[in-house]
Structure 1
Amino acid sequence: MTVASSPPGEEIEFPWHAEPSFNCFGCGPRNPVGLKLRMRKLPNGEFGAVTVFSPDYASYPGIVHGGIVHVLLDEVMGDTLALVHGMLAFSVSLSSRMLLPLRVDVPYTTAARIAGQGNGVLHTEAEITGPDGEVHVMARGTFQPIRSEQAKDLMDLDEAAFGRVSHYFDHGTGES
């Protein structure tokens, strides 16, 4: 089954989760301090994740740290690019508007979409909503697809690991 035909609500398993060297703080299932996000196709066709933060991720008592909120946004927007375009990308910029704080022990849905592309980058948008549907955070991100040379130089992948994930690199985004 392709990601596009995945039924809404079903968890999407990323192939790189099986790679021992991939220990992503956002989506890595083996990272002991990570968020372990589980991406799903949402009923509206966008991709997202439902997250409940423990007090381990708090800044003020009961309030999720703003930096962790930005990790969540960055991860869901980047994962959306991987799901839609089959590519891995580095975030170039992230801007957000925090309308309401996120509280620990409350489920939030982060939804993302691709907003455009050109000049070698992709643009994304996302929002985080609370259980009542109220928007807590709105964000925009810009991502640069990872080239093979960058992956080899920066990711510490051996030849076997690189061979297993190389199809996620060298995607063009057009110039328009």
Structure 2
Amino acid sequence: MNEENAPVVLPWLDEPRFECFGCSPRNKIGLALKMYRLGDGRLGTDITFSDAYASYPGVVHGGIVSVLVDELMGDLIALDRGLLAFSVTLRTKFLQPLQTGTPYRAVARIVRESGGVVHAEADVLDADGTPHVMANSAYQPISSEQAEGHMGLVGADRERLAHYFDHAIG
């Protein structure tokens, strides 16, 4: 985990209504992920899960691990493509359980765009670079209508964030 990386500031962290479980520092029970760019363009984050995220003693809950990879892939799409998207599929393969108190690095990359969706992959690696989790997902861009209906973004909030919506993917 000694790779050089460049910190990434997520532009939506200052949004007053934004309390994302994955990346918002204002969510008291969330992961508060800090992300960075790797030299090859992938998005990464380092994390050590506390026992608060365990299922069995010492084992990180699989749902929390799925949040980690989904957040990383979704944020990569938002940063690189300038759009917000909902995950429409998420497949997570657990090669080995993640342990609480153990440092991990998660990395994500966009693999293709087709049929109106963006496809991404993510891996969770231990300190030696051994993969513990492999994930892939498809993301559907959010329309301004969905932003209003599902997220309650109206008026000034919707206008301020309008550039993230109504994107078409080939």
8 Å CA contact 1:16–1:165 kept in 2: the answer is no
So what's the TM-score if we normalise by structure 1? 0.91
1:4 corresponds in structure 2 to none
Within 5 Å, give how 1:94-173 maps onto structure 2: 94-173=90-169
Aligned equivalents of 1:14 and 1:164: distance in 2? 15
Q: Choose 150-159 or 131-140, whichever is displaced more.
A: 150-159
Aligned equivalents of 1:104 and 1:44: distance in 2? 29
What whole-Å deviation, never above 9, does each CA across 1:29-54 have from its counterpart, x for those lacking one?
10110000111101332111111111
Aligned equivalents of 2:161 and 2:24: distance in 1? 15
> How far apart are residue 158 of structure 1 and its match?
3.5
Q: Which amino acid aligns with 2:32?
A: K
Gaps of 5+ in 2: none
Aligned equivalents of 2:64 and 2:167: distance in 1? 29
Give identity over the alignment, percent: 51
> How far apart are residue 22 of structure 1 and its match?
1.2
Q: Choose 57-66 or 13-22, whichever is displaced more.
A: 13-22
3-state SS in 1 of match to 2:7: coil
> How far apart are residue 9 of structure 1 and its match?
2.0
3-state SS in 1 of match to 2:157: helix
How many residue pairs get matched?
Answer: 167
Q: Which amino acid aligns with 2:130?
A: E
Aligned equivalents of 1:125 and 1:78: distance in 2? 10
Aligned equivalents of 1:103 and 1:43: distance in 2? 27
What whole-Å deviation, never above 9, does each CA across 1:13-72 have from its counterpart, x for those lacking one?
112111111111001110110000111101332111111111100011111000000000
What whole-Å deviation, never above 9, does each CA across 1:64-87 have from its counterpart, x for those lacking one?
000000000100010110111011
Aligned equivalents of 1:103 and 1:58: distance in 2? 8
1:50 corresponds in structure 2 to 46
Q: 1:33 aligns with which of 12, 29, 32?
A: 29
1:5 corresponds in structure 2 to none
2:62 corresponds in structure 1 to 66
Q: Which amino acid aligns with 1:27?
A: C
So what's the TM-score if we normalise by structure 2? 0.94
> How far apart are residue 96 of structure 1 and its match?
1.6
Aligned equivalents of 1:37 and 1:163: distance in 2? 27
